[in-house]
Amino acid sequence: METIYGIISDCHKNSGMVAWALRALERKGAQAYLVNGDMAEGHGKIPDAQDRLAYILDMLGETGKPIYISPGSHEPLGVFAPAVAFSQHLYPNLISTVDHPFFSVGTHDLVFLPGSDFVSGGEYLLARDPDLPTGKYLAIDKKLQPLPYLNTAAALIRAGKAQAQFAHTNPYDLYDLVTSPEKTIVICHVPRKFDNLDEAVDMAEFGEVTEQFKIDDQRVERGSIIPLDHAQRLVKRGAPIQIKKENRGNEPLAGIYEDMGITKAVSGHFHESAHRANDRNGKHVAEGTWTNELFWMASYLDGAKAGLLFVRDDGQIKYENVDLS
């Protein structure tokens, strides 16, 4: 027996790609879906972003299959939380992994780490402070306190009485969540750190600002990280930006996974690494190979890439890259 998960993430531009992906994954036998972040945008007007996410959730809910949905780098609290809560009234098969990070499914466990260590308009943070417990927070005068209702927090920020709101996921929660590492699959928008540029899932190309500069009346600080396509456009305008290619996975996650013996994880985030897969040493794992070690960047919907994860009762897993183009 095996369980088949359809996986989608990183849909920044065309929400219609979700319908295209679902049709393909349904035909291939997906029994449930892992929605691994960056399905909503933190730039622009909140109501528009809520409507876009609700539209996507409606398509997912209509499948009738279990849908495990996580925020990534781009989802604001005021978009993700209310849109998911509203849609859950219509579709009980929608599951927020922010509220429920652990599931035992037959002979395997799914453990979710929502959020990202690098955000672009998002407010779900991962691994920012090892001493900060998982929860939702409001920043007032450089001090953090538990987040009140979202509407209250938004009003305080608009009035200048609070500086920010965010949710934080502490990856050290894995020590409490994981009971059997050998049967655990971690679903996290961000991959762990590896050291293989040619094969590993955490290869990223990006721009790093080498000197402070202003553009369109906005100051950009030295050391800022800018997505590759935007960085390349700025370089053409003369901005002091160095284009880099590095393994940018999360180092605390690497340490935790190694310490706990976690050898199976699904990620998104680094678009350049879409459909890469490797073992714990960063070496390529071939598509369709049953294995006990798999770290896989499963989907980049803007690039017409989705995935299928197959989980066998003996704990071994394999993957299929689904090209939608």
Q: Is 269 helix (H, G, I), strand (E, B) or coil?
A: coil
pLDDT tens track for 154-209: 788 888 888 889 999 999 999 999 999 999 999 999 999 999 999 999 999 999 99
| Amino acid (one-letter) located at 196 | N
Radius of gyration of the chain (CA): 19
Strand order in the sheet with 225-227: 225-227, 203-209, 241-247
Domain positions in the chain: 2-134+170-199+248-323, 203-247
Contact between 94 and 87 under an 8 Å Cβ cutoff? The reply is yes
Architecture of the structural domain at 2-134+170-199+248-323: 4-Layer Sandwich (3.60)
Q: Is the pLDDT of residue 235 over 70?
A: yes
- Asked if residue 4 lies in contact with residue 29, where contact means CB atoms within 8 angstroms, the answer is yes
The CA-to-CA distance between both ends of the chain, in Å, stands at 31
| Alpha helices for 127-238 (secondary structure H) | 150-158, 174-177, 228-236
Exposed / middle / buried, residue 228 (Cβ in 10 Å: 0-12, 13-18, 19+): middle
- The predicted-structure confidence for 215-226, as pLDDT tens digits, reads as follows 888 888 999 888
Q: Please indicate whether residue 127 or residue 168 has the higher confidence score (pLDDT).
A: 168
pLDDT of residue 158: 83
Selection from 157, 100, 162 nearest residue 134 by Cα: 100
pTM, two decimal places: 0.94
Over residues 143-155, mean pLDDT: 79
5 burial level (CB within 10 Å; 0-12, 13-18, 19+): buried
Question: pLDDT grade, residue 13 (50/70/90)?
Answer: confident
| For the chain, counts of helices (H) and of strands (E) | 7, 21
Give residue 42's pLDDT: 63
pLDDT tens profile 14-31: 899 999 999 999 999 999
